[in-house]
Amino acid sequence: MANRVSFCQSSLSSKNKKPEKNRENKELSEETLRLLKILEKENWEIKNFLVRSYKALPVSPESKKKFYDYFISHSAFSVATTANPATSIITELLYDGEKLNLSSPIDEYFLLSKAGRSIKERLKVVKEELPKVIEEYRQKRKDRKVLIGNLGSGPGRDVIEVLAAHYSNTSDVRAIHIDKDEFALERGKLMAQVKKVGHLIEFIKGNFLKYNPSKKFDIVLLIGILCSLDFETCVVILKKVKKILKKDGCLIASNVSKKMFEEDPFTYHLMRLGKWKMVFKDEQELKEIFRKAGYEVKRYFTDSYGFHIMCVGTPRSYF
């Protein structure tokens, strides 16, 4: 409790109310209070808009317009997410934030917020867990060859760094990165070359839902793809993925957890203002998506904040 300060001392019960209404009871993190303090000095109207909209109080179209003008002219995150909420530019900025020019209080906020830091923690835990799954499949395969499909890879930093750390001296473990964003793939190619694993990765521009490979994957990664999608859409996607996964293959898919919304609602408020929508799911919901799509859930793991759940499953029924 030491580093969190009460936002508004309301004693209203939080039961059966919309999330916005509950916010009166929420405490603001140190990072949020710092952002509001900076904005109060720099631009009082922007601070006022943020506080009022967070508390679901009425805001005028003029103040909303001023906020958006400020938002897109003062923050790389905001420009990227308003242009394309699914862009890997956001995840890349969060992974590699120290390279950001932090003259923007909003960008600094996104980087330092718990939700922002959890993205980097997700990358860390995926990089720890993926080699374990790769080794499991290397043991299973007579020829020790493993093919990874990184779907909606962005540049594919996770797989690039795992291959560079563990498999640069063998050609047994290879990957195909598929994304519709050509710029992200171009960055991925350069990252892979710099890390000396370019020869192990193929980069394909396209929609992974329409991908028809000559060889099926041993392992498929779907990281940061399901988060904005509803339950039934996730089921449809996982069913399609099953068709490009070997019968005994392994799917690792992530989703943002409800804990993120509960513990860092102000960051989500800023994200929503930037049209960055999430469908938070708990572990049971993610497991249910796997089951409904015809997978057996083997296990799951989370990042250190518990803000991202990574479910690991294998096809149960093949069609």
Residues making contact with ligand SAM (CB under 6 A): 86, 88, 91, 152-154, 178-181, 184, 207-209, 223-225
Residue 110 to residue 63: CA distance in whole angstroms: 22
37 Rama class: left (phi>0) / alpha (psi -120 to 50) / beta: alpha
Q: Give Cβ neighbours of residue 229 (< 8 Å, ≥ 6 apart).
A: 237, 279
**DSSP string computed for 35-76:** HHHHHHHH-HHHHHHHHHHHTT----HHHHHHHHHHHHHH-H
Name which of 35 and 111 has its Cβ closer to ligand SAM: 111
Q: Nearest approach, Cβ of 94 to ligand SAM (angstroms)?
A: 9
Show the tokens assigned to 220: 């498929």
Give least dist CB 154 to ligand SAM, A: 3
Q: How far apart are the C-alpha atoms of 179 and 247, rounded to whole Å?
A: 24
Residue that the structure tokens 């099926």 belong to: 216
Report the C-alpha gap between 82 and 87 in whole angstroms: 10
Looking at beta carbons, which residue is closest to ligand SAM?
Answer: 152
Q: CB of residue 23 vs ligand SAM: minimum separation in angstroms?
A: 26
CB-wise, 86 or 125, nearer to ligand SAM? Answer: 86
From the CB of 39, what's the least distance to ligand SAM, in Å? 27
Min dist. Cβ of residue 11 to ligand SAM (A): 39
Comparing CB distances to ligand SAM, the nearer of 192 and 223 is 223
Q: Which is nearer to ligand SAM, 197 or 225 (CB)?
A: 225
CB of 207 to ligand SAM, least distance (A): 4
In this complex, which beta carbon is closest to ligand SAM, that of residue 180 or of residue 316?
180
Dist. CA 318–CA 294, nearest whole Å: 7
Which residue stretches of the chain are H helix? 19-22, 30-42, 44-54, 61-74, 76-83, 88-95, 105-112, 114-140, 157-166, 182-194, 231-242, 258-263, 265-273, 283-292
Please say which residue, 153 or 267, places its beta carbon nearer to ligand SAM.
Answer: 153
Count of residues for the chain?
A: 319
Q: Considering the complex, state which of residue 181 and residue 263 has its C-beta at the smaller distance from ligand SAM.
A: 181
CB of 280 to ligand SAM, least distance (A): 15
Task: Give the C-alpha separation, 260 to 311, whole Å.
Answer: 17
